[in-house]
Structure 1
Amino acid sequence: MKKVLFIYYSQSGQLEEIARSIARPFAEAKSVEVDFYEVKMVHSFPFPWTSDAFFNTFPETFQQIPEEIHPPAPKILETNYDLVIVHYQVWYLTPSIPVNSFMKSSYANQILAGKPVVTVSGSRNMWALAQDKMKVLLQQCGATLVGNIALTDRHHNLISVVTIVDWMFSGKKRKAYGIFPKPGVSDKEIEEADKFGQTILPYLKNLNFEGLQQDLVKQGAVDYRFFLVSMDQKGNRMFRIWSSIIRRNPKRRKRLVTLFKYYVVFAIYGISPIVYLIELLLYPVVYFLKYRKEKAHYEGV
């Protein structure tokens, strides 16, 4: 009997839906036992968010400062799993505080040490550098990354900003203002995510995960977009500066967080379209210098 653990944290319910969709083939297999562990914070985050609450989480999120979580059930801690599938969402180009808090806890070391892990992210569109950070967290736990699935909102970058903000602050996954598409990973992709479970299952049965990531990529598990990775890299550089300034000035935190909020809006709608045009013009040259290697990196493990 093979044992698989699905770990997730979900505010809106989307990531739990993804986890349970991927889990279906495992649950239907008589030779596999499936457990779920939902990360729960001692001090929970609101959903829907308020603008102040959301932006105030930025410095600690980006600097990956953990908070206290409730311990997993004894069964989760005592079971020797053959595979762990860790689901996480991206906050500020970084694994969310709840998942980061779990990954930096003693519970993660106990559960993940020596285990093969598949990561699954559900994000707006910029997941690449968050996955690099997740790789570091897994290495610190002594886990082995054997696969990665990055599910995103596939609409245009500027459109997805409008729709995700409406979802975050209303709590409703709807067509914003009646004209925009629904936010987040599409219902169709969530429903069809069980195909990834079907792909992983034979590797689990053989306890040999070599070649798994290549098969997942063939199914569309990773959507590399050079422009988004470039924006991710630039955003990380600026977020590093902003988060440091805010945390070094606690008495001015509220004002600085407000300034950061306006900076983010300007960067998305003012700077990113210009950067996109420049990247597009340079693509034929830069592809051979950077993008080809970068694509291989993010499609791999």
Structure 2
Amino acid sequence: MKCNVLVVYYSQSGQLKDIVDQTTYDLVQNQDINLTKYKIEMEEEFPFPWDFYSFFNAFPDSFLQKEKKIKPIPTEILNQEYDLILLYYQVWFLSPSIPINSFLKDKQTQQILENSKIITISGSRNMWFLAQEKIKKILKECQAKLVGNIALVDHTPNLVSAMTIVNWMFSGVKKRMFNLLPLPGISEKTIQESRRFGKIILNSIQNNNYSNLQENLIQSGAVEVKPFLVSVDTKGNRMFKVWSKIIDSKQGKQREKYLKFFYYYLILAIWIISPLVNLLYIIFYPFNYFKYKKQIKYFQGIE
């Protein structure tokens, strides 16, 4: 009897689609697996490349996890029972992207997710920790069972990746800034090597046993946790909560003005606050060693 696997994703630049193709390669080749790929489509698509206003205007809805209308999910997907769902997502403003959040909160989606086994696969700059917590909360509300998590990130230094990813989002062209900095996004090497995770997932499918899946994924390097970035993510979420509520309450010219204020805050946070947090992290690392060990274990897990 064939195993039915559903792949759900949303990709603008094509990077997440590349991750989908690599991590599902061995599943597609296996004749005992019936794999369906579903790309989320919005009623009103987001632009790519982004313009300044559209990009920052997406911040409040993204962080506050407000869903927008998606195009109807195909009937054949709604009528099929799936043995496993691979949920691919991006992180927008430290939260799950609006498209994936909209899919998860769509009424039609509930019947797909309920009692289903889920593996989450994220492709982000470097901070996915609290976004994953938000995904976990939604899945729990849907009575879905999270059995695995993979987090692919850009491994270039934090400040460098901040520059290169913004350049990519606004230009739509994946290129080296100043012909010097690394290419933006998750490296081709990382994406190509992610095929090994598909082999691990395939093994769990064939054995119908997911109890050791996450442990096997961790051992193969599927989830890297840096306590410094967890700290930045946590502090960023606190500030974003304040900013998102303020901006969400504004309209018209007032909203545009506060979006510009938020932009200047981000520059300050990335170039001044973040390095200070890193310095404090280094200074107090010996005193927080056991705390960081717990953080690593927790965020590598799926509980």
- Give me the TM-score of the superposition, normalised by structure 2: 0.97
Secondary structure of the 1:150 match is strand
Secondary structure of the 1:26 match is helix
Distance in 2, matches of 1:198 and 1:107, equals 31
Secondary structure of the 1:57 match is helix
Please say if residues 93 and 129 of structure 1, whose CA atoms lie closer than 8 Å, have aligned partners that are also in contact.
yes
Which residue in the other structure is 1:256 paired with?
A: 258
52-61 or 246-255, larger mean C-alpha shift:
246-255
User: Per-residue deviation at 1:74?
Assistant: 1.3
Distance in 1, matches of 2:216 and 2:92, equals 28
82-91 or 67-76, larger mean C-alpha shift:
67-76
1:285 aligns with 2:276: no
Distance in 2, matches of 1:141 and 1:10, equals 24
CA offsets, 1:230-258, max 9 Å, x none? 00000000000001111223352111111
Which residue in the other structure is 1:30 paired with?
A: 31
- Alignment counterpart, residue 268 of structure 2, candidates 261, 266, 269: 266
- 1:64 counterpart letter in structure 2: Q
CA offsets, 1:116-145, max 9 Å, x none? 000000000000000000001111221100
Distance in 2, matches of 1:55 and 1:48, equals 13
Which residue in the other structure is 1:43 paired with?
A: 44
Please say if residues 82 and 207 of structure 1, whose CA atoms lie closer than 8 Å, have aligned partners that are also in contact.
no
Distance in 2, matches of 1:242 and 1:152, equals 26
Distance in 2, matches of 1:187 and 1:72, equals 31
Q: Report the count of equivalent residues.
A: 300
User: Per-residue deviation at 1:172?
Assistant: 1.0
Which residue in the other structure is 1:18 paired with?
A: 19
Distance in 2, matches of 1:141 and 1:85, equals 15
Distance in 1, matches of 2:245 and 2:19, equals 34
Q: Which runs of 4+ in 1 moved over 2 A?
A: 248-251
Please say if residues 93 and 130 of structure 1, whose CA atoms lie closer than 8 Å, have aligned partners that are also in contact.
yes
Distance in 1, matches of 2:143 and 2:21, equals 26
Which residue in the other structure is 2:196 paired with?
A: 195
Which residue in the other structure is 1:245 paired with?
A: 246
Distance in 1, matches of 2:52 and 2:250, equals 21
- Give me the TM-score of the superposition, normalised by structure 1: 0.98
CA offsets, 1:29-61, max 9 Å, x none? 111111100000001000000111100110111
User: Per-residue deviation at 1:277?
Assistant: 0.6
Distance in 1, matches of 2:190 and 2:79, equals 33
Secondary structure of the 2:50 match is coil
Which residue in the other structure is 1:9 paired with?
A: 10
Which residue in the other structure is 1:125 paired with?
A: 126
Distance in 1, matches of 2:182 and 2:278, equals 22
1:76-225 alignment, distance < 5 Å: 76-225=77-226
User: Per-residue deviation at 1:207?
Assistant: 2.1
- 1:161 counterpart letter in structure 2: A
Which residue in the other structure is 1:52 paired with?
A: 53
- 2:235 counterpart letter in structure 1: K
Identity of aligned residues (%): 46
Distance in 1, matches of 2:259 and 2:41, equals 26
Q: How much is the aligned-residue C-alpha RMSD, in angstroms?
A: 0.9
User: Per-residue deviation at 1:87?
Assistant: 0.3
User: Per-residue deviation at 1:206?
Assistant: 2.4
Secondary structure of the 2:24 match is helix
Which residue in the other structure is 2:277 paired with?
A: 275
Which residue in the other structure is 1:70 paired with?
A: 71
Please say if residues 120 and 148 of structure 1, whose CA atoms lie closer than 8 Å, have aligned partners that are also in contact.
yes
CA offsets, 1:123-174, max 9 Å, x none? 0000000000000111122110000000000000000011101110111111
